[in-house]
Amino acid sequence: MENNTETTEIEKEEVNTEAEAVEAAAEDNITELETEKKGDEYKEKYYYLAAEMQNMQKRFDKDKENILKYGNEKVLLDILDVVDNLERTLSFIKGDEDVKVKNIVVGLNMIEKMFMDSLGKHGLKPIEAMGKEFDPNFHEALSQLAVEGKENNMVHEVQQRGYTLNERVIRASKVIVVKND
Domain boundary among 122, 138, 159: 122
Domain housing 81: 72-122
Q: How many folded domains does the chain comprise?
A: 3
Average pLDDT over residues 16-36: 73
Average pLDDT over residues 99-121: 91
Looking at the structure, do residues 148 and 98 belong to the same domain, yes or no?
no
pLDDT tens for 50-69 read 899 999 999 999 998 888 88
For residues 46 and 54, give the distance between their C-alpha atoms in angstroms, rounded to a whole number: 12
CA distances from 25 to 17, 108, 126, 130 (A): 12, 95, 80, 88
Average pLDDT over residues 129-153: 89
Q: How many CB atoms lie within 10 A of CB 82?
A: 10
Q: How many CB atoms lie within 10 A of CB 132?
A: 16
pLDDT of residue 10: 66
The answer to whether residue 95 scores a pLDDT higher than 70 is: yes
The answer to whether residue 113 scores a pLDDT higher than 90 is: yes
